[in-house]
Amino acid sequence: MQHRKRLPVALLVAALTAVSLGAPGLVLAQATIVIDVLDGPDEGFNDPGAPDPTSAAGGNTGATLGAQRFIAFGHAADIWAGLLDSSQAIVVGATFDPQPCDATTADLGAAGTNTVHRDFTGAPVVNTWYPAALANALAGADLAPGLADIDAFFNSAIDDATCAFPKVWYYGLDGSPPAGTIDFVSVVLHELGHGLGFQTFVDLGTGAKLNNFDDVFMLWLENHSTGELYPEMTDGARVSASVDSGNLHWIGPDVVALSDGLTLGRHPSGHVEMYAPDPQNPGSSISHFSTSLSPDELMEPSFTAAIHDVGLAAALMQDLGWSASSLPRTTIGQTAGAPLSDGGGGGNCFIAAMTGSLDIAR
Ligand SMILES: [Zn+2]
Ligand SMILES: [Zn+2]
């Protein structure tokens, strides 16, 4: 039995204030994120336990622990929804269940797109996988009706006395987690980033493309030491690039245009380092910014501090094809050697189940 609760996260306040900026040509960013709670009664997001007073002091007024979790999730969803445009509701299937944790490490959460799509009407690049939320936005239609666009999982054991991990979740909304806590809003923000498109579908172990098609994330991945881009590499070369620390780069124009705020992790060309540890870190390699970046970015693979600003991830979403009209952007022209489709054709939409990456706290 699964209890389903759907709550649209609207952005009326953000929309109203954006109008008054008066910037020429400014169009409001507006997406709606629907949180589809898949927990059972009395657990996870429905946990009837007492609210955490520390989180309450941080602005989370939920009357129960489950309510606090849900409110914090909604706060993070609001941040993304205020940055991206889509006519289609972005549905996130969310659960909060016990997952692995021990005295030194704990899985925090995982998320990814639920389905992938290619060659739909409106697809900017042919023969290329798009995550569901982005594909829906580009198509102006729900390409997988009845299915969540993003699946997200979070570890409830972190709040549990049976888990030896010394930190607990902080559900405050103020980005000020006390010592000994992990900022849940930051983790949700990060995981939603994966679900919205910050992930490759390449098989990390073999370097193989998903069903032999490019994904939109890989179009901007470069091995700077060879100059090759991910789509044109052999499977073996992709595996090599995935462990080429410092040389696996994001070269999308929107990220490059804004990367000069980085003092570390940025090539003089503006290319930004991606996470490519040797040996690979399954579930984390490639689909994150490098841990070498400074200042720290939200989409690095592990958390050291609360971050409620999606930072360069917003520009990366634009490189993927998201419309994010409230942000500065460059014009996306030709992508990495792939011809731009005229959007004609349609049909031929392929859907495959995906799982997301798993993120770990230390
Ligand atoms: Zn480069
Ligand atoms: Zn991650």
Most confident residue range from 7-11, 47-51, 332-336: 47-51
- What pLDDT, in 10s, does the model give residues 192-201? 999 999 999 9
Ligand minimally distant from the alpha carbon of residue 303? 2
Q: Ligand 1: distance of its center to the CA of 314 in Å?
A: 20
Residue ranges of domains in the chain: 5-198+349-361, 214-320
Please compute the mean of the pLDDT values over residues 314-336 and round it to a whole number.
Answer: 64
Q: Ligand 1: distance of its center to the CA of 262 in Å?
A: 15
Q: What is the pLDDT of residue 304?
A: 74
Q: What is the pLDDT of residue 336?
A: 29
pTM across the whole model: 0.85
Ligand minimally distant from the alpha carbon of residue 297? 2
Say which range, 56-65, 91-100, 120-129, 345-354, has the weakest mean pLDDT.
345-354
Q: How confident is the model at residue 162 (pLDDT cuts 50, 70, 90)?
A: confident
Task: Give percent above pLDDT 70 in the chain.
Answer: 81
**Four-residue CA torsion sign, 116, 119, 123, 126:** positive
Say which range, 101-110, 149-158, 316-325, has the weakest mean pLDDT.
101-110
Say which range, 171-175, 229-233, 239-243, 278-282, has the weakest mean pLDDT.
278-282
Which residues, other chains included, contact 253 with Cβ-Cβ below 8 Å and sequence gap of 6+? 319, 330, 331, 332, 333
Q: Ligand 2: distance of its center to the CA of 75 in Å?
A: 18
Q: How confident is the model at residue 346 (pLDDT cuts 50, 70, 90)?
A: very low
Looking at the predicted structure, is the pLDDT value of residue 137 above 50?
yes
DSSP E strands, the chain: 5-9, 33-37, 90-97, 106-113, 116-117, 128-131, 150-155, 168-170, 181-183, 214-215, 221-223, 228-229, 248-250, 272-273, 357-361
Q: What is the pLDDT of residue 104?
A: 83
Please compute the mean of the pLDDT values over residues 25-50 and round it to a whole number.
Answer: 84
On whether the CB atoms of residues 241 and 248 are closer than 8 A, the answer is yes
Looking at the predicted structure, is the pLDDT value of residue 339 above 50?
no
Ligand minimally distant from the alpha carbon of residue 266? 1
Kindly state the tokens that stand for 228.
């090759």
Q: Ligand 2: distance of its center to the CA of 260 in Å?
A: 23
Ligand minimally distant from the alpha carbon of residue 246? 1
Q: Ligand 1: distance of its center to the CA of 76 in Å?
A: 31
Q: What is the pLDDT of residue 213?
A: 95
What integer best gives the mean pLDDT of the chain?
83
Q: What is the pLDDT of residue 362?
A: 39
Looking at the predicted structure, is the pLDDT value of residue 335 above 90?
no
pLDDT, greater one: 24 or 66:
66
- What pLDDT, in 10s, does the model give residues 75-93? 999 999 999 999 999 999 9
Q: What is the DSSP string of 301-319?
A: SS-SS-----THHHHHHHH
Looking at the predicted structure, is the pLDDT value of residue 103 above 90?
no
Q: Ligand 2: distance of its center to the CA of 191 in Å?
A: 6
Ligand minimally distant from the alpha carbon of residue 247? 1
pLDDT, greater one: 31 or 320:
320
Q: Ligand 2: distance of its center to the CA of 94 in Å?
A: 16
Kindly state the tokens that stand for 9.
């996260």
DSSP assignment letter at 121: T
Ligand minimally distant from the alpha carbon of residue 361? 2
Quick check: helix, strand or coil at residue 338?
Answer: strand
Q: Ligand 1: distance of its center to the CA of 229 in Å?
A: 9
Ligand minimally distant from the alpha carbon of residue 190? 2
Q: Ligand 2: distance of its center to the CA of 299 in Å?
A: 6
- What pLDDT, in 10s, does the model give residues 219-242? 999 999 999 999 999 999 999 999
Ligand minimally distant from the alpha carbon of residue 267? 1
Looking at the predicted structure, is the pLDDT value of residue 190 above 70?
yes
Ligand minimally distant from the alpha carbon of residue 226? 1
Q: What is the pLDDT of residue 140?
A: 94
Say which range, 185-194, 276-285, 353-362, has the weakest mean pLDDT.
353-362
Q: What is the pLDDT of residue 30?
A: 81
